[in-house]
Chain A
């Protein structure tokens, strides 16, 4: 078959148009919906953090700093409880440290608040900080392997099997709540308190608080909440349930979140 240049160009042109146009047309016909608007371009003011309308379960925590100020050793008790339950290693070098929950002074916890002549109580109180399990978690968006993800109940969880140790999530987390295993953590886990029900981590993965998913599945409270006992220092529960204890606590008290202006909508609230 002899094909002329003119004919060839015609066919090539038509098939290019068909090739480019068909998938787009198919997508429109099949889905019949417009593309979702990204959070960044939604035009919401950055100052007011907007909580989405409550749907389903959203687990959260209220930390009553007044109780922590009254009982000085309580925060340390929470930290020990958490770190033993999850086999968190203890490194002497602060650069290697792994922390799921730890204490920081007011100005480190609430960087956006004014620290000019702050009141005496804030001067020497230290705040327990942990993963905020944000409703709009930047770490999840940063993770290239979906090793960190948001569960339906609002917990920002991690699958260490998938973590490739790129530490994008650490850069993305505005709260610095993630730790990287620079060294093999196993030799640094306390042998006497090792929890055989929970795995350790390996070198080269990032880890953080998991809101004790494994304990919640058994009907238990998170380890830190349990360590607080009846003091009411920490209240954990479903914030979308109008009858939950945490809802009562939120309704009764003025609470603040960490860096709410970033729009991550943290699920950990502080009573000061």
Chain B
């Protein structure tokens, strides 16, 4: 290999820079977000694990079903009916966006564009 003396230290510096956030935080991912669970309801439209990983898939499916296929029949779980809708379904139980949605989204540094159109928080007025 040519220029071994330059390349290998260079790679090491690069690697160090890349993992510096992890080292600085001492391998600690910070406090796990605590979500405010809706009161009086124990079951969501799917298992907790599935909702955690794939709620966006459900929202996508619901959107296409409601909008394109015209299928707005509510999803029934344990006799409780939920609209296929973010604002009229999910957020009827998960009332507070800040204490539910944002908790994880901020933690995971994801910026979903749902809120560009859905849900107009009081404080924006």
Contacting pair B70 A199 (CB below 8 A): no
Contacting pair B70 A213 (CB below 8 A): yes
Query: Residue A102 at the B interface, CB < 8 A?
Result: no
Contacting pair B116 A197 (CB below 8 A): no
Q: Which of A87, A149, A198, A217 contacts B68 (CB 8 A)?
A: A149
Tell me the chain A residues, 190-235 only, with Cβ under 8 Å from chain B. 191, 194, 196-202, 213, 217
Residues of B within 8 A of A200 (CB): 117, 120
Q: How many residues of B contact A (CB 8 A)?
A: 16
| Chain A interface residue number, banded | 20 to 34
Taking A160-B117, A199-B118, A200-B117 as contacts, is the C-beta distance between A191 and B125 under 8 angstroms? yes
Residues of B within 8 A of A160 (CB): 117
B118: nearest chain-A partner, CB-CB: A199
CA of A149 to CA of B67, assembled, Å:
10
Query: Residue B75 at the A interface, CB < 8 A?
Result: no
Residues of A within 8 A of B113 (CB): 202
A202: nearest chain-B partner, CB-CB: B116
Q: Which of A153, A159, A186 contacts B70 (CB 8 A)?
A: A153
CA of A161 to CA of B56, assembled, Å:
14
Taking A159-B63, A191-B125 as contacts, is the C-beta distance between A217 and B120 under 8 angstroms? no
CA of A197 to CA of B120, assembled, Å:
10
Contacting pair B63 A161 (CB below 8 A): yes
Quote the shortest CB–CB distance from A158 to chain B (angstroms).
Answer: 8
Chain A interface main SS type: loop
Contacting pair A194 B120 (CB below 8 A): yes
Quote the shortest CB–CB distance from A9 to chain B (angstroms).
Answer: 45
Quote the shortest CB–CB distance from A151 to chain B (angstroms).
Answer: 6
Residues of B within 8 A of A75 (CB): none
Q: Which of A159, A161, A186, A213 contacts B120 (CB 8 A)?
A: A186
CA of A200 to CA of B124, assembled, Å:
13
Contacting pair B67 A159 (CB below 8 A): yes
Interface residues of B (CB under 8 A from A): 63, 66-68, 70, 72, 87-88, 113, 116-120, 124-125
29 contacts between A and B (CB under 8 A): A87-B120, A149-B68, A151-B68, A151-B70, A152-B70, A157-B67, A157-B68, A159-B63, A159-B68, A161-B63, A186-B120, A189-B120, A191-B125, A194-B120, A196-B87, A196-B120, A197-B87, A197-B88, A198-B87, A199-B117, A199-B118, A199-B119, A200-B120, A202-B113, A202-B116, A202-B117, A213-B67, A217-B66, A217-B70
